[in-house]
Every structure is written in C-alpha cells, then in structure tokens.
Chain A
Amino acid sequence: MTIEGRLTYAGSSRVQEATLVCHGESYELLGPDATPLAAGPVSGLRFAAPVGRTPRRVTLPDGALFETDQMDAVDALNPARNTLHLHRAEAFRPRLAGFVLATIGAAWVVWRYGVGLLVAVAVWLTPPNLARVLDDQTLRSFDRFVLEPTTLSTAEQAALQDDFTRLVAALSPSEAHTPLRLKFRTGPMGPNAFAMPGGTVVLTDELVRLSDDPDMVAGVMGHEIGHVIHRHSLQQIYRALGIYAVVGFLAGDTGPVLESLLLEGNLLLQLAYSREHEFEADAFAVDLAQRAGFDPHGLVRFFDHLTDMGLTDPLPSWGSTHPSHERRVEAIREQIHGIGAR
C-alpha cells in the first residue's frame, strides 16, 4: 500500500513531500526521488485519532510527523478501533438524528431531575449557621439603605411575638430544622413581609397596622415561615447557579453573547419557580394557622385588604414573581374547603 503525504521532522517546521509504503507488518518512508527516509515495523507508528476530514497524522518513533489526505488508507492501518468507531458515529448520516433525539431526551432528564437533585444536595450541605450569617448581613445592609426601626409599641411587639411563637410551636419536628426569629421594621415598601434563608422573618409596621386582625397577620407570618421551612430562597440561588454550571459543563464555550445571557437570563427564568413557591407557602400558611389554632381565612382577608387598597399586581402573571391575588385566594379557599370536608 502506498500513501502520498508530507513529512515534518521532529521539532522542526520544515515540510517535505514523502510517501509511506507498507508491506504487511513493516513500513518504509520515501522522500522525493524515492530516497529512503525511515523504515521499521508498522507497530512502531503512532496513529492519531481521526477527527472529521482533517489530514490523518502518523507519528514516527523519532517524533517526525507524516500527514496525508488519503484518510481511508491510514484509517485502515490504525489499530485503535474504538477511536475509529467514535469517528464513524460522528459522521453526518441519518442516524445522527437519533443521537439528536437521544441528546434532547437526556438533556431533558438532566434539566427536570438532575438540577433538582443538585439543588437538594447543595441545600442539604449548606450549614444552618451559614444561612444565619447571610441573614445578618442582608438585614444589616437593608437597615442601612431602606429599612428603619419599628414604631410599634413594646406591647404590640410582644403580642405578635406570642403569635409567632405559637405558630413555631405548631411545627412538626421534621419541619423545625431552622431556628426562626421575628423582626419588626418600617420602610418605604408599604405593607410587606419577607423571609430570609436563615430563618429571619421581617414584618413591616404598615402590614401590622393594616387592620386589627391577629389571624390575618398570623397568616402572613405562616406564609413566611413556609418559605423558610421549604428553603425557597436557597433553592432559587442554587437553581440559578446549578443551571449555569450544568449548561457550561456540557455545552462548553457558547460564544461571546450567550455566555453572559446564560447567567443573567437565568434569573428571569427563576420567576416561574418563584410563583410555584408562593402557592406552596400559601398552602403551608393555611395549614399551620389551622394547627396553631388561628382562623385559616386570615390570609384570604389579607389579600382582600390589599385589593381594596388598590395594591394589585400591575404586571401580567408571566412577568411577576407573585401570582395574582384572585388566583391565590381561590387556591386557599379550595384548600380550606378540602380541610373542612375531611
């Protein structure tokens, strides 16, 4: 067998025409005018894994490189069958469509279950005191920039703290994984409440003063406790990071634009999960209120109050982190109805 190609000497960029001649188990390399350049057993040659239709590369024992465009001839000599199988699998043939479908299926499984699993493991690995440290830092920066000390009287605070303790006491042992604490603040964001991953629940004075209805505030506190118990914030942080890591790991370099969009755009995708979390926290609040002996309709009254005040969500539901009041009230009513029927 005779293969025409080019020879590059070891460690030199000089190229010359050369011919590789194989007779059975031995080879001979000939230069122009058939001057012998090298000879030896074929087993001493190193065949590079074939990639696409690039020139095939054969390295001689002394490091010289023989390159040729006669791909099939070299591939026939290549003893590494598995790299050839890989090379053949990559060929642009109809069966590649099957690979595309298999990849989409596998990617879907990773997306649907893999990311969730990664998030669960990461949440499980996060030490509780790390979350509490994060809470303290976040609250401190809020205090510096937006929040102000509460104007509630000590008696008012004590009454709310009692309700909060009652709710916490009603948690089942498996739910009581994070120590919970209640904080009061006032600020420019009106009737509001939020929870942080380390178990800190913050109520605004405006929310407390919305009406003289302890069941309503208990419903809101239950909702925030629900976020903590279900570890929603942590999940969202890890989800965004996890998706970025998985895509980066699998797809590799995605080009100059998509790289940044991937990380940033991820956050917008999180909105869908965030709405799921709101429903979950609502359901938890109703259940907890019931267990702690509060009126589970408190949360419904809260939404009605907000709607009466004109504080509805101005964005269509796909653009918001929170579902609309009507849909939430509807879901809560259904749930309470279900409890009553049991």
Chain B
Amino acid sequence: MYHSGSLRPQRVLFHGNAREYFGIWIVNLLLSILTLGIYSAWAKVRTNKYFYQNTELAGRRFDYHATGMRILIGRIIIVVGFIVFQILSLVPLLLAVVAIGFLFLFPWLITRSLRFNARVTSWANVRFNFDGGPLQAFLVYLLYPLLSALTLYLAYPFADRARRRFVIGHHLIGRSRLRFDSGIGQFYAALLAFVGVVLVILALTFAGTIQTFVLMFNTVDFGAVDSFEGIESFIGLLVRAYIGTIAALVLGGMVYAAIMRNIIYRGTRIEGGHALHSSMPVAGYVWVGLSNALAIFATLGLMLPWAKVRMARFLAAHTQVMIAGDLDDFIGDILPEGGALGDAYTDMEAIDLGLPV
C-alpha cells in the first residue's frame, strides 16, 4: 500500500565530527598495520558503527551490526578463492570453464553482499533486508550492460534504471518494501551531462596538440615493456593525455553520481506512503569531493577523517524523508545474516552497490 497524503519532510541529521573520528581512524589504522591487515575487518565495523550511529532520522539512529570475525572469514575465503581462480585460469583449457563459472558466481556474490549489508543495518532497532535473487542480478549486472554496450551505450540508461529498480525494489526495512521508479528522460539527462563534461575537459586538454598526436605515431614507444632507448618526447604528451583523461572521467563521474543520487532518492518510496528526497546541488558535491581530495593529498592522508565527516554531513544535509503520518509502524524480525563472503568480494573489487541509506 503506497498511499499518498500530506507528507511531512524530515531532515536526516549527521552528528559525527572530525576530531572524534580522527581518533577512531588513527587507532584503526595503527592496529591494522601492526596486525598486518587482519584488524582491518574490525576497523571496518568500527568505522561503519561510527557513521551509522551518528546518522539520525526522526529521533532514531541507524546502526551497523556486522562483526569483525565474520568479515575477516569472508575476506580470507575470497582471497584464497581469488588465488585459486588465477591459478586455474593459467591452464588454457580450464580458462573457459573458470570464466563460465565466474558468470554464475558473480551475481550470486552480488546478491549475497546486498543481503548481508542490508541485514546488518538497522534503523530504530528495525533491520533492513534484501530479497533479490541471483538470476535477476545476472540480468541487471551482466546481461543488460552488455546489451547496452552493443548499442554503443545509447541504451545504457535503460540498463541503469533496471539495475536501480532491482537493487532498491528488493530492499525492505522490517517488512516494508522500498520501491523505485523514474522516467527514463532524467537518466538520459544524467548520461548527457557526463558525456558533456568529459568532452569539454578532453577538448581543453588536447587543444592544439592534435598535431603532436599525429607526430607521436611516428615516435611511439612502449610503456608496458622495458624500452631501452628511443625518442621519448611522446612521454610528456602521454602524461598529459593520461591526466586529462583521468580528470575528465573523475569529474564526469562525480557529476553523474550527484545527478543520479537526486534522481534515485526522489524516485524511491517506502511502503506506508513515505518517500525519500534529495536536493543535492551538483556543483556543491563536486566542490566537496575535489577539495576533500586535495586536502587528503596535501596532508598525506591525515585529513581523511575530516574529509569523510565533511562528505557525510554534506550528504545528510541534502537528504530528507517525506513522512506520511508517523514512523512508528515499521516492524520486522532479525534475520540470519549469512556469511560476509559477498561483502568481502564487493569490498575487494570496490563495487559500489549504492544502497539507498
């Protein structure tokens, strides 16, 4: 039942501060190094607890319930599995078998990760849940993006929307389902903004160097192998092209992420008539992201806690939940979380699952 009525906007509040998180972060880091990375599983839990518990909606806090041991076991299995995969794929005959095996394994790992992360997250003592299956994950994470590539990514917004629908629509808070829908036009607008930013930056980078690029073809060298000697003026150009391309993709990616976040939040409803809302200014997000990166870089990482808190505060300040009636009626059970295998995998591959919390 998704009834509409008078909606009351409720701001999301973030109470964390940089000083406090700095202490947690530096102790996490020190213990992680001293234990050769083993403690990093517990460090992840502690960091998430800090950020979740400091996030408040309607007088109730979020919380993260995973345990360090669970995450460590998941990571060990994934690392061992990764090494076994690498060794098996060395044998040419087995390569095809391994690749096909991975096609089945990947969607399973993704859904396991989504489920684990949902079930260890709570708001107001009510746990989240995820009930999407691997078959659909295979469609939205592998098949649709592949098909959209065949259309030169012209149909990518459809694949993207299908993925968001799958991920959000299979999330529940307690027993109340989330649902996402949105017109396709906004997805195309976001893609267009991404392409526009990338093209402008590339044009600025390569203005006047086309001539040099043509010449470069005659002086090409190999970065991947040990080249003994040769004409190396192209390296300067290569470095420039490299930096320009990275800048274009990073900036374009941030613009796309900011627009998408607004679209996703505005298109998400929670059973019971509640709705999410995001009014994040794109330029503001880009500014926070870039200045954060600069601060971290300039202080060799010591400003990382400050940057993370700043970003969390910025995101919270532009997020609201439109409440129909009150938020007292969410009910749910604590479900078994399962192993942290999928979570370890998505961690390692740095796959952003973009949960709507």
Contact = CB atoms under 8 A, between A and B. Distances in A.
Judged by DSSP, the binding face of A is mixed
Interface stretch (A28-36, A70-78, A103-111, A331-339): A103-111
A268 B23 contact: no
B215 to A, nearest CB: 11
Contacts of A67: 61
A107 B33 contact: yes
Interface string B41-60: 00110110110011000011
B237 to A, nearest CB: 10
Interface in B104-136: 123-126
B221 interface: yes
Contacts of B19: 92
A322 interface: yes
A99 B30 contact: yes
Contacts of A190: 219, 230-231
Nearest to B333: A11
Please classify how large the interface on chain B is, using the bins under 10, 10 to 19, 20 to 34, 35 or more: 35 or more
Contact of B34 (A57, A106, A277, A315): A106
A124 interface: no
Interface string B216-251: 011111111111111111011001001000100110
A173 interface: no
Contacts of A103: 26, 29-30, 33
A319 interface: yes
A250 B233 contact: no
Given A10-B125, A250-B32, A255 B293 contact: yes
11 contacts: A8-B60, A52-B20, A54-B54, A64-B125, A189-B221, A191-B230, A193-B229, A251-B304, A252-B43, A322-B229, A322-B232
Interface of B: 15-16, 19-24, 26-27, 29-30, 32-34, 37, 40, 43-44, 46-47, 49-50, 53-54, 59-61, 63, 90, 123-126, 174, 217-233, 235-236, 239, 242, 246, 249-250, 253-254, 257, 289-290, 292-293, 296-297, 301-302, 304, 307-308, 311, 327-334, 350
Interface of A: 6, 8-15, 49, 51-55, 57, 63-65, 67, 86, 89-92, 96, 99-100, 102-103, 106-107, 110, 127, 130, 138, 142, 146, 188-196, 220, 223-224, 227, 232-233, 248-261, 264, 267-268, 277, 281, 302, 306, 311, 313-315, 319-322
